[in-house]
Amino acid sequence: MAEKKEYKVIGTRPIRHDGVDKVTGRALYGADFQMTGLLHGRVLRSPHAHARIVSIDTSRAEAYPGVKGVVTAQDLPEAEDRVADLGEGAVNLKYLCDNILASDKVLYTGHAVAAVAATSPHIAEEACKLIDVEYEVLPPVMEVRQAMEADAPLLHENLKTTSMGETAEEPSNVASHIQHKLGDPDKGFAEADIVVERDFVTGTVHQGYIEPHNATAHFNQDGQLTIWCSTQGAFTVREQVAEILQYPISKIKVVPMEIGGGFGGKISVYIKPVAAMLAKKTGKPVKVLMSRSDVFEGTGPTPASYIRVKMGATKEGKITAAEAYLAFEAGAYPGSPVGPGAMCIFAPYSIENLVIDGYDVVVNKPKTAPYRAPGAPNAAFGSETVLDEIAEELGIDPLEIRLLNGAKEGDRRADGPVHPRIGFIETVETAKAHPHYTAPNGKKHHGRGVASGYWFNIGLESSVTINVNADGTINLVEGSTDIGGTRSSIAMQAAEVLGIPAESVNPSVVDTNSVGYTAVTGGSRTTYATGYAAYEAAQDVKRKMITRAAKLWEVDEDNVQFADGEFSCINGKEEQISFRDLCGRLGQTGGPVVGSGTVNPGGAGGAYATHIVDVVVDEETGKVDILRYTAVQDAGKAIHPSYVEGQIQGGAVQGIGWALNEEYIYNDEGTMTNASFLDYRMPTCLDLPMIDAVIVEVPNPGHPYGVRGVGEVPIVPPMAAIANAIYDAIGIRMTELPMSPDRLLKAMGKI
């Protein structure tokens, strides 16, 4: 279906449609929403990592001048212990509700306990201090291996391990165990000339979006609930709020405002149901904003993990077997991304004998949320470091060993699926030929490392409607919130079909009452799936316009052809009319034209990336500086190359932060001590060089233009690439993230 073609719009770099609004400060984000009579809400959070709530007394807060209402878990409908599917997989409703407002126990510092609505945010905040909560403090469990021990304190008395269909008898912090197996690993290791096995530890890290969570809710007198908010998916907000509040979705409208970053962290709801509860209680619209520390302590980061990887290879470098043990911290409630981690580890390679075990383990930290290729970066840190060590031991170039073992079309992933046409080999070949890889690298304490990564990408549902305007432009209505320029990448696909410029499309992201169901902006799916829906909607417009041309010329529809933005008559008459001119004649040919497209495509097509990094290590301080960075990635087809590059650069830099400094640091009581942008230490522009993003295009057969998702895979390789570069610089294998200066000093034996 998808072949190399010449396109008019696709592959060009138009100014994004929402650009002017965003450079002039006019674009309205969730916190910018204003409304007459607005109250301000604030959430009280637990100061303890693990405690039983003995009592909550809100009377002093309620009496504070300016306070209009206080809510606790008592105000939530009784949550059943049942499983609901809310768009990002199945979740237990009791857990979901308890994470909104704790009912019986608090399970992490920052766990929401109560909320206040008042006439100003300051009053709401001051009133929170007047809520008296009595806690019975329990010992916290802060680390995955500790939580897996038989005598570890239990977070949930009823949680029992499910392991490949079986449920254990005794309660445990291990929610589940999964296993994927191919071939005969024992036989494979026996055939190996070299076997390398290492343990890895990765820290808890946050998505770090700059915009804190926000929500404004209002209940009309007729029971209609409207929520204005920043979210990656208005429809999933509607579903989650409906389940939590036990309220019909037909009475909920979610209006997605502009969103200031998400990276997976703005799919789960936190304060949206709370705003609705406060709005219900006060009868007024209520806006709830999180502070930055609320975001760190009260929303889902991505998990810390313990990983063990063993790989065997022949002396020629052929991998004969691989084994991985992945134990991921789910946070307070089950649901870590160990599943995706297990799907992605080793997926760049064709390996006959494999076994992967994954464990989902609860600990006293915030319930984890997706973060850009969730699970895959943790896993790749282990596997890509071990592969580097094998290459080094065997004296094989690290990119060469990847070419030798690289997965191709027809190879099977450990968890079952067979790869369609993929572009892994092409990313490695491109990296190998890149001037960065061939540049000299010999200075003292300078090192170069490479690593690859995989992310499977997803499809899911999207809907698009196109309204044709009389002047030859179209209004494109979609439901995917635009976090990185997707209005344009979606609009460009419709423009390509209709032969009109990108600028002739007016894309709008609308609320849940105004467009068909559309799944979240996540899973690298938006340009792929909503773009696909836009393609289908444009095809619908094209068909309808052909009908109009046929009517105009009084010929059969079969006699009308459409190419390069022109309709022409191919039989008998010498008629021709441009798309634009025909748009002006819709009234006389039957009225307005509206096209629609809905999809749930199955051919998302996996994405691969190979990164090269040069570092310098200050051996006296342990500090690592990034000198040069090149990220090669298969985009399938880059619709708007600038924004594809942007995804690659941004993902790589988040990976650099994860590699070098970012982590949740906890004290002995289980409280995060660095819940601010000051001490969480995300990279600033002074910490980085330019990031050379190199796009490879191996079209995805599952999309009309060959698009693959590009957003997530760039965060997969950086940690291992940097670890491998540090090894090249100082001869030490770093196996713990972040590779912060103190850890390097320790590894070098300086402290």
Contacting other proteins within 685-724 (CB under 8 A): 685-688, 690-691, 693
Please pick, from the candidates 8, 11, 22, 441, the single residue that binds other proteins as defined by CB under 8 A.
22
Please pick, from the candidates 643, 658, 705, 727, the single residue that binds other proteins as defined by CB under 8 A.
643
Residue placing its CB nearer to other proteins in the complex, 46 or 161: 46
Least distance CB 172 / other proteins (angstroms): 31
CA-angle at 505, arms to 500 and 506, nearest 5°: 170
State which of positions 92-131 bind other proteins (CB under 8 A). Answer: 120, 122, 125-126, 129
Peptide bond into 348 cis (omega under 30): no
Least distance CB 616 / other proteins (angstroms): 13
User: With binding defined as CB under 8 A, does residue 31 bind other proteins?
Assistant: yes
Angle between helices 641-660 and 486-498 (to 10 degrees): 150
User: With binding defined as CB under 8 A, does residue 194 bind other proteins?
Assistant: no
Least distance CB 654 / other proteins (angstroms): 7
Least distance CB 522 / other proteins (angstroms): 14
Residue placing its CB nearer to other proteins in the complex, 563 or 678: 678
CB 355 within 8 A of CB 179: yes
Please pick, from the candidates 84, 154, 249, 745, the single residue that binds other proteins as defined by CB under 8 A.
745
Residue placing its CB nearer to other proteins in the complex, 221 or 684: 684
User: With binding defined as CB under 8 A, does residue 26 bind other proteins?
Assistant: yes
CB 69 within 8 A of CB 282: yes
β-bridge partners, 358: 178, 326
Nearest-CA neighbor of 284 among 275, 293, 292?
A: 275
Residue placing its CB nearer to other proteins in the complex, 224 or 673: 673
Least distance CB 261 / other proteins (angstroms): 5
Please pick, from the candidates 36, 65, 170, 440, the single residue that binds other proteins as defined by CB under 8 A.
65
Measure Cα distances from 681 to 209, 613, 663 in Å: 13, 20, 8
Residue placing its CB nearer to other proteins in the complex, 11 or 153: 11
User: Cα(546)–Cα(497) distance, rounded to whole angstroms?
Assistant: 13
User: Cα(180)–Cα(115) distance, rounded to whole angstroms?
Assistant: 44
> Of the ranges 16-24, 43-51, 161-169, 173-181, which one interacts with other proteins (CB under 8 A)?
16-24
The string of DSSP letters for 651-714 reads HHHHHHHHHHT----B-TTS-BS--SHHHH-PPPGGG---EEEEEE----TTSTT-----SSGG
User: Cα(485)–Cα(482) distance, rounded to whole angstroms?
Assistant: 6
Q: What one-letter code names the amino acid at 370?
A: P
Residue placing its CB nearer to other proteins in the complex, 331 or 622: 622
Least distance CB 326 / other proteins (angstroms): 26
Residue placing its CB nearer to other proteins in the complex, 122 or 443: 122
Nearest-CA neighbor of 281 among 447, 74, 423?
A: 74
List, in sequence order, every beta strand (DSSP E) within 205-248. Answer: 214-219, 225-229
> Of the ranges 12-20, 190-198, 376-384, 468-476, which one interacts with other proteins (CB under 8 A)?
12-20
Please pick, from the candidates 12, 103, 162, 291, the single residue that binds other proteins as defined by CB under 8 A.
291
Q: Tell whether the torsion through CA atoms of 69, 71, 74 and 79 is positive or negative.
A: positive
Please pick, from the candidates 5, 13, 145, 445, the single residue that binds other proteins as defined by CB under 8 A.
13
CB 88 within 8 A of CB 267: yes
The pair of three-digit structure tokens given for residue 490, joined into one six-digit string? 């979606």
Please pick, from the candidates 623, 627, 732, 733, the single residue that binds other proteins as defined by CB under 8 A.
623
User: Cα(310)–Cα(392) distance, rounded to whole angstroms?
Assistant: 15
How many residues touch other proteins under the rule CB under 8 A: the total is: 85
State which of positions 126-155 bind other proteins (CB under 8 A). Answer: 126, 129
Least distance CB 411 / other proteins (angstroms): 31
User: With binding defined as CB under 8 A, does residue 434 bind other proteins?
Assistant: no
State which of positions 222-281 bind other proteins (CB under 8 A). Answer: 258-263
User: With binding defined as CB under 8 A, does residue 750 bind other proteins?
Assistant: yes
How many residues are there in the chain? Answer: 751
Please pick, from the candidates 2, 9, 10, 16, the single residue that binds other proteins as defined by CB under 8 A.
16
Residue placing its CB nearer to other proteins in the complex, 536 or 692: 692
How does strand 505-509 pair with strand 474-478?
parallel
Residue placing its CB nearer to other proteins in the complex, 5 or 26: 26
State which of positions 35-64 bind other proteins (CB under 8 A). Answer: none
Least distance CB 741 / other proteins (angstroms): 6
> Of the ranges 197-205, 210-218, 277-285, 428-436, which one interacts with other proteins (CB under 8 A)?
210-218
User: With binding defined as CB under 8 A, does residue 421 bind other proteins?
Assistant: no
Least distance CB 570 / other proteins (angstroms): 40
User: Cα(241)–Cα(64) distance, rounded to whole angstroms?
Assistant: 29
Residue placing its CB nearer to other proteins in the complex, 181 or 292: 292
Measure Cα distances from 244 to 102, 225, 287 in Å: 13, 14, 19
State which of positions 325-384 bind other proteins (CB under 8 A). Answer: none
How does strand 225-229 pair with strand 214-219?
antiparallel
Please pick, from the candidates 3, 4, 6, 23, the single residue that binds other proteins as defined by CB under 8 A.
23
Site string for other proteins, 651-690 (x = CB under 8 A): xxxx-----xx---x-------xx-xxxx-xxxxxxxx-x
Secondary-structure percent of the chain, ordered helix, strand, coil, rounded to 5:
30, 25, 40
Residue placing its CB nearer to other proteins in the complex, 195 or 748: 748
Please pick, from the candidates 32, 62, 397, 503, the single residue that binds other proteins as defined by CB under 8 A.
32
State which of positions 482-501 bind other proteins (CB under 8 A). Answer: 483-485
Please pick, from the candidates 207, 368, 527, 700, the single residue that binds other proteins as defined by CB under 8 A.
207
β-bridge partners, 703: none
Least distance CB 29 / other proteins (angstroms): 6
Nearest-CA neighbor of 424 among 440, 405, 446?
A: 405
Residue placing its CB nearer to other proteins in the complex, 326 or 744: 744
Contacts of 302 (CB under 8 A, 6+ apart): 204, 205, 206, 207, 264, 337, 368, 369, 370, 371, 374, 378
CB 278 within 8 A of CB 41: yes
